[in-house]
Amino acid sequence: MGTQRDGREAEGNRADTGFAHIPVLLRETIEALAIRPDGVYLDGTLGGGGHSEEIAKRLDAQAGGRLIGIDQDAEAIAAATERLSPYRDRVTILKDNFENAAERLEAAGIRHLDGVLLDLGVSSRQFDSAARGFSYHEDAPLDMRMDRDQILTAAQIVNTWDEQEIFHILRDYGEEKFASNIAKHIVRTRNEKPIVTTMELNAVIDAAIPARIRERDTGHPARRTYQALRIACNRELDVLTNALERLIGVLSPGGRFAVITFHSLEDRIVKNTFRTWENPCTCPPDFPVCVCGRKPMGRVVTRKPVAPGDEETERNRRARSAKLRVFEKI
């Protein structure tokens, strides 16, 4: 659960900027958003601009159609700006974390949205850039920051957080069975010498996981630890929870909220949030009438998450764990 390698966009067909050009679940997402030419839409995870390009194509600037794209990665901003340049009359691009999207929209005078897209996870470009430190296959500094202006890195977590904190993030964010032993080995190793590269961390993880388990496991032994460190470094689950809570207030009646997740922790947050929006009543089941006063905010469009088809997963193996959920506001 939740340990497959993330990736918002497929490999291949890259622009000069290095960002990939094939977004995950593109057709399904665009259909789910039910885009209106005069609508105002937010792509809170702009990436290389693949989803945004398809949204922008469907907008009419003269009728008031507008797209706001947000990303915290400067390289993504550069790639998306180039890709979306033909639609500059209807596209605004902001560098920020999507957690702050509602505040940035309000500051820009935008108080209502007709659709929101959050395509979570890490882009293929971020994974494939060794210097970013996201991949356990490349020797690189332990970085893992999505926003390179951010101070906290994975190396700081590994070398300064106490053993219990490391144990908790490995257990809770990575669902790592050997979280306790890995945390102990990390602390023991860093007491002799700081752990500063991905390969140094891989060696620590190998030493902490029994050989018989590593031999039976078909995946890389470090994958859960890397997921946990990345989530902690970028506050991914807190950011998602806060963004959902804030952005639903900006969504107009009839507007749709589409979220693509890549691991079980994200998907659980989205699923439970959408269910609560649809049925917020807290009254006991045996109450004849609702007395809590909480009213439904809309309906869940996707009773089951939409997953990529065989053709897409064959073309892009990183899309295998993707799930699309959609909510429509009343």
Residue 129 lies in a domain: no
2 pLDDT band, cuts 50/70/90, is very low
Rounded to two decimals, what is the model's pTM? 0.91
Same domain, 17 and 120: yes
Q: Pick the residue with more confidence: 59 or 75?
A: 59
Domain contains 187: yes
How many domains, in total, are found in the chain? 2
- Pair (228, 244) in one structural domain: no
Tell me the two tokens of residue 67.
Answer: 């797209």
Looking at the fold, whether 152 and 79 belong to one and the same domain comes out as no
Same domain, 118 and 245: yes
Contact criterion met (CB below 8 Å) for 269 and 240: yes
284 assigned to some structural domain: yes
Q: Which domain holds residue 306?
A: 9-124+236-329
Per-residue pLDDT tens over the stretch 70-124: 999 999 999 999 999 999 999 999 999 999 999 999 999 999 999 999 999 777 6
Per-residue tokens: 163: 């053993």
d(CA 98, CA 267): 17
We report the CATH number of the domain holding residue 14 as 3.40.50.150
Contacts (Cβ under 8 Å, ≥6 apart) of 321: 4, 5, 6, 262, 263
Same domain, 119 and 242: yes
The last residue of one of the domains, among 209, 234, 259, is 234
The answer on 191 and 277 residing in a single domain is no
Enclosing H/E stretch for 154: helix 154-160
Give me Rg for the CA atoms of the chain.
Answer: 21
**Boundary (domain end) residue, out of 218, 234, 250:** 234
DSSP assignment string, 232-280: HHHTHHHHHHHHHHHHTTTEEEEEEEEEEESSHHHHHHHHHHHHHHH--
Q: Is residue 44 part of a domain?
A: yes
Q: Is 2 inside a domain boundary?
A: no
The contacts of residue 45 (CB under 8 Å, 6+ apart) are 8, 70, 71, 98, 117, 118, 119, 120
Pair (224, 244) in one structural domain: no
Q: Residue 99 is which amino acid? A: E
Q: What is the pLDDT of residues 16-44, one digit of tens each?
A: 445 555 799 999 999 999 999 999 999 99
**pLDDT exceeds cutoff 60 at 1:** no
The answer as to whether 94 is a domain residue is yes
CATH number of the domain where residue 188 is located: 1.10.150.170
Q: Are residues 91 and 141 in the same domain?
A: no
d(CA 309, CA 313): 6
Same-domain status, 241 and 114: yes
* Same domain as 21, residue 109: yes
Domain for residue 143, yes or no?
A: yes
Question: Does 77 lie in the same domain as 25?
Answer: yes
Measuring CA to CA, which residue among 109, 55, 112 is closest to residue 87? 55
Structural domain includes residue 3:
no
Does residue 225 sit in the same domain as residue 244? no
Q: What is the pLDDT of residue 320?
A: 92
Tokens of 269: 């947050």
